[in-house]
Protein backbone atom coordinates (compact mmCIF):
# COMPACT_ATOMS: atom_id res chain seq x y z
CA UNK A 1 0.00 0.00 0.00
CA UNK A 2 1.01 3.61 -0.46
CA UNK A 3 -0.20 6.84 1.15
CA UNK A 4 -1.45 9.15 -1.64
CA UNK A 5 -2.87 11.99 0.47
CA UNK A 6 -2.55 12.85 4.15
CA UNK A 7 -3.11 15.72 6.56
CA UNK A 8 0.45 15.06 7.77
CA UNK A 9 2.44 15.78 4.61
CA UNK A 10 5.36 13.64 5.89
CA UNK A 11 3.22 10.52 5.34
CA UNK A 12 2.63 11.14 1.63
CA UNK A 13 4.52 8.57 -0.41
CA UNK A 14 4.96 6.15 2.49
CA UNK A 15 4.89 2.57 1.20
CA UNK A 16 4.61 -0.68 3.06
CA UNK A 17 2.47 -3.58 4.17
CA UNK A 18 -0.46 -3.29 6.59
CA UNK A 19 0.41 -5.59 9.51
CA UNK A 20 -2.14 -4.55 12.14
CA UNK A 21 -5.29 -2.51 12.51
CA UNK A 22 -7.26 -0.93 15.32
CA UNK A 23 -10.48 1.06 15.32
CA UNK A 24 -8.73 4.28 14.24
CA UNK A 25 -5.23 3.29 13.08
CA UNK A 26 -3.26 1.15 10.68
CA UNK A 27 0.19 -0.20 11.48
CA UNK A 28 2.44 -0.24 8.42
CA UNK A 29 5.74 -2.10 8.01
CA UNK A 30 7.85 -0.03 5.61
CA UNK A 31 10.76 -1.04 3.35
CA UNK A 32 13.21 -0.53 6.24
CA UNK A 33 11.22 -3.02 8.36
CA UNK A 34 10.08 -0.14 10.64
CA UNK A 35 6.57 -0.13 12.07
CA UNK A 36 4.65 3.12 11.51
CA UNK A 37 1.20 3.92 12.86
CA UNK A 38 -1.09 6.13 10.80
CA UNK A 39 -4.57 7.47 11.53
CA UNK A 40 -7.19 6.12 9.14
CA UNK A 41 -9.27 9.29 8.99
CA UNK A 42 -6.32 11.38 7.82
CA UNK A 43 -5.17 9.44 4.75
CA UNK A 44 -6.10 8.26 1.28
CA UNK A 45 -4.40 4.98 0.40
CA UNK A 46 -3.50 3.13 -2.78
CA UNK A 47 -3.80 -0.58 -2.05
CA UNK A 48 -2.42 -3.26 -4.37
CA UNK A 49 -4.72 -6.29 -4.52
CA UNK A 50 -4.51 -9.18 -6.98
CA UNK A 51 -2.71 -7.12 -9.62
CA UNK A 52 -5.07 -4.14 -9.26
CA UNK A 53 -4.60 -0.78 -7.58
CA UNK A 54 -7.47 0.43 -5.43
CA UNK A 55 -7.77 3.97 -4.06
CA UNK A 56 -9.35 3.94 -0.58
CA UNK A 57 -10.34 6.89 1.60
CA UNK A 58 -9.22 6.02 5.14
CA UNK A 59 -12.55 7.29 6.52
CA UNK A 60 -14.19 4.21 4.99
CA UNK A 61 -11.97 1.98 7.13
CA UNK A 62 -12.88 3.55 10.47
CA UNK A 63 -14.22 1.17 13.08
CA UNK A 64 -13.14 -2.17 14.41
CA UNK A 65 -12.45 -4.69 11.64
CA UNK A 66 -14.89 -7.21 13.09
CA UNK A 67 -17.67 -4.57 13.21
CA UNK A 68 -17.17 -3.62 9.55
CA UNK A 69 -18.01 -7.19 8.55
CA UNK A 70 -21.50 -6.73 9.96
CA UNK A 71 -22.29 -3.71 7.75
- Residue 14: which H helix or E strand, with range? none
Domain residues for the domain of 11 are 2-68
39 touches 52 (CB < 8 A): no
* Predicted local distance difference test score (pLDDT) of residue 67: 76
Per-residue pLDDT of 18-65, as tens digits, reads 999 999 999 999 999 999 999 999 999 999 999 999 999 999 999 877
* Predicted local distance difference test score (pLDDT) of residue 66: 74
* Predicted local distance difference test score (pLDDT) of residue 38: 96
22 touches 5 (CB < 8 A): no
- Tallying the residues shown for the chain, one arrives at 71
Nearest to 33 by CA among 54, 10, 15: 15
**For the whole model, what pTM was predicted?**
0.85
Sequence-distant (6+) residues with CB within 8 A of 39 are 24, 25, 58
| Total domains in the fold of the chain | 1
What CATH number corresponds to the domain at position 10?
2.30.30.210
Amino acid sequence: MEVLEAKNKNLIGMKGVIVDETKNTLVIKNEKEEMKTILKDQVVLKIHYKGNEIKVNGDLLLGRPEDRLKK
